[in-house]
Structure 1
Amino acid sequence: MNRFREMEVFLAVAQAGSLAAAARAVGLSTATVMRTLATLEARLNATLLLRGARGTDLSPAGMLFAASCRQILEGVEQAERSATGQHARPAGQLTLSAPLLMSHQVFTPVVLDYLAAYPEVSIATETREDLPRLVEDGIDVALVVGHLPDSSGFAVAVGAVAPIVCAAPAYLQQWGRPLSPDDLAAHQTIATSSTGHVVEWRFRGEHGVRLIRPAPRLNCTTQQAAIRAAIAGLGLVRCMSHEVHHELQTGLLVPVLSDFALPSLPAHLIYREGRRAAARTRTFIDFSAPLLRAHPALQQA
């Protein structure tokens, strides 16, 4: 088996997480996949996969090798498209990621419009709150919120979102509107946190960031559940503005303590390879960036 095919087999195992699933994906027997991996590890003198009862995981060396294999195989695919004149016509699969509620409120309509405009492209989406590793995670374009490290690749600014505290009008009618963070002690709050973690809400104070630790009436594992509880009138919730854009627009929720909000956080589309990116990636950036900038959920600086 040549080295190109070995990389394809290894990458299939890395993505599938099991030898049997990878074998089905590449049309080989499980025994052949195992022999291929053994030959590859012997030639490289490195352990690429950690095998366990629940499947396979990448070793540190395997993670680096998988990223390199993905780049090489994508480069070969791009070269073949270029040789056949396909480089100018967007086609193939595009993998996108965005935070869950950003996807619901903002991103999905843009994705659907892009698919309508480029019928030869298919899209796979995933939701994640952390900053993705584009190469290692196999993501072409990610919509991310927050300040970017220098290693995040190419980035296009599309706006900003702000931290916000809000509640249902019925709750505010019953409990009153808090006028300062100190008033939160007399209010019911809804929080999102992992078990055992102290809830902390941050506000702009006279001498910098002010930390408030409310005692939540309800503690949820997801922001979506906390927002739904706030809509039902249970109490105040702290979230990001894009996460409740629809609810604010329709009056289901009302913002409070706006004078004490921390500065907004930037939102970016990040991608890899710049001008060398595949046509589907470049066209998605060019298509989606203006639409995102025009979306009312994303503030403009």
Structure 2
Amino acid sequence: MDRLREMEVFVAVVDQGSFTSASNKLGLSTAAVSRAVASLEERVGAQLLARTTRTLRPTDAGAAYVDACRKVLDAISDAEANLAADRLNPVGTLTVSAPVLFGQRFVAPLVNAFALRFPDVGIHATYVDRTTRLLEEGVDVAIRIGHLGDSSIFAVPLGFVRRRTYAAPAYLAAHGEPRHPRELIDHDCVSCTGVSLPLEWVFNDKGTRLPVRFRPRMIVDLVPAAVSAAVDCVGITQLLSYQAAPEVSEGKLHPILTAFEPESTPVSLLHVERRGASGKVRAFLEFVTETLRNNAHLQDMDVIPASATPRNR
């Protein structure tokens, strides 16, 4: 039994006047109550209760100690009540960071709803396609897509996305569908530098990392530009699964080389590690976490309608 619990038991014994009454109040056995008091007496090195066959009262040391225990327990209760109130009615400015497209599609609507739900919290939302340094940049909460290595942060897992290769059905009908990543050398490709290296895409061949180098038909630095080029049949592109989700759903793009996809990439909700996070941070985490975890595009799969499958392959 931890020290605070032992203190709580000791106060109950003094208040109730007996071990039996204290055990009934706390839902513990009489033996457990007796052990807790004995452990506390051994810890403080003093007898806290004077016991006779008929009476039980605190010793002088026990009377002084029970007052100290009440102050500690009352302080903890007050702190917990204040934290609960702070979470229910958060105030201050909350700084949130997320990747641009992910933030636009999935985070911004939640930020807007949070702002309406908690009018006393100001929002500073930053959408950037780079790794945000929470401590250095004063960011309270950040979405990160990728493996984590920063020990100074708390990470709340949200799900996964895949690095997938896409082509328009019309492109596949005209040029055929590659069956192996090495066949990309014979195809037009559109590289997006925000997602992968411009001259090399990485695949997985039966558990082995498979880098494939090629000469791209086009290199862009914005995901929407890569999506647009692929839809317009400029070439094959490689993106994170959520980035092409609307076009896949509409049948404008189709995932290819799916048997060679690399391992999925984790998506996490990060906040700075510190004891007793502020009410605004806790409230935001509670507000968005389950919604993001239930997002179909973070479940390590694409939703591919039958109409999206090309007829000529």
Q: TM-score by structure 2 length?
A: 0.64
CA distance in 2: counterparts of 1:212 and 1:185, whole angstroms: 9
- Unaligned 5+ runs, structure 1: 1-78
Which deviates further from its counterpart, 236-245 or 256-265? 236-245
Could you say what secondary structure the match of 1:97 adopts?
strand
Q: Distance in 2 between matches of 1:143 and 1:239?
A: 18
Distance change (3 Å), C-alpha of 1:294 and 1:206:
closer
CA contact (8 A) 1:203 1:210 kept: yes
Q: Taking structure 1 as reference, are residues 274 and 293 closer, same or farther at Cα in structure 2, changes over 3 Å only?
A: farther
For residue 213 of structure 1, what is the aligned residue in structure 2?
213
Change (3 A) 1:151 1:128: farther
CA distance in 1, matches of 2:131, 2:151: 11
Q: Secondary structure of the residue that 1:119 maps to in structure 2?
A: coil
Query: Hey, what does 1:120 align to over in structure 2?
Result: 120
CA distance in 1 between counterparts of 2:300 and 2:165 reads: 20
Is residue 2:279 matched to residue 1:276? Answer: no
User: How far does residue 145 in structure 1 lie from its aligned partner after superposition?
Assistant: 0.8
Whichever residue aligns with residue 222 of structure 1, its letter is L
CA distance in 2: counterparts of 1:234 and 1:113, whole angstroms: 38
Greater shift, 167-176 or 261-270, is seen at 167-176
Task: Tell me how far apart the structure 1 counterparts of residues 87 and 166 of structure 2 sit (CA, whole Å).
Answer: 48
8 Å Cα contact 1:153-1:272 kept in structure 2:
yes
Partner of 1:292: 292
One-letter amino acid of the counterpart of residue 276, structure 2? R
Q: Counterpart of 1:263 in 2: which secondary structure?
A: coil
Q: Which residue does the alignment assign to 2:191?
A: 191
Q: Distance in 2 between matches of 1:251 and 1:274?
A: 46
2:273 paired with 1:267: no
Gaps of 5+ in 2: 1-78, 302-313
Alignment of structure 1 residues 121-140 onto 2, 5 Å: 121-140=121-140
Counterpart of 1:74 in structure 2 is: none
SS in 2 for 1:276: coil
What is residue 176 of structure 2 aligned with on the other side?
176
**Preserved contact between residue 191 and residue 238 of structure 2 (Cα < 8 Å):** yes
Question: Which one-letter code corresponds to 1:93 in the other structure?
Answer: T
Give yes or no for contact 2:97–2:125 (8 Å, CA) kept in 1.
yes
What pairs up with 1:17-96 in 2 under 5 angstroms? Answer: 88-96=88-96
In structure 2, C-alpha distance between the alignment counterparts of 1:207 and 1:270, rounded to whole Å: 29
One-letter amino acid of the structure 1 residue matched with residue 269 of structure 2:
L
Partner of 2:151: 151
1:105–1:243 CA contact under 8 A, matched in 2:
no
CA RMSD of aligned residues (A): 2.4
How many residues are matched? 218
Is the Cα contact below 8 Å between 2:162 and 2:300 reproduced in 1?
A: no
What amino acid sits opposite 1:190 in the alignment? V
SS in 2 for 1:215: coil
Counterparts of 1:282 and 1:275 in 2: how far apart (Å)?
12
When normalised by structure 1's length, the TM-score is 0.67
Pick the structure with greater CA Rg: 2
* Contact 2:159/2:267 (<8 A) preserved: yes
Give how far 1:186 is off.
1.8
What is the alpha-carbon distance in structure 2 between the residues aligned to residue 298 and residue 253 of structure 1? 19
Instruction: Report percent identity of matched pairs.
Output: 34
Q: Displacement of 1:233 after TM fit? A: 1.6
Alpha carbons 1:163, 1:264 under 8 Å: kept: yes
Residues 1:207 and 1:250: Cα distance change in structure 2 (over 3 Å): closer
Please report how far the alpha carbon of residue 120 of structure 1 lies from its aligned counterpart in structure 2 after TM superposition: 2.0
CA distance in 1, matches of 2:230, 2:222: 13
Displacement of 1:101 in angstroms is 1.5
CA separation of 1:98 and 1:87: change in aligned 2, threshold 3 A:
closer
Paired AA for residue 176 in structure 1: G
SS at 1:297's partner residue? helix
Could you report, residue by residue, the CA deviation over 1:246-291 in whole angstroms, capped at 9, with x for unpaired residues?
A: 2222222110001000010111000024552211110111111100
Alignment partner of 2:151: what SS?
A: helix
The aligned counterpart of 1:160 is 160
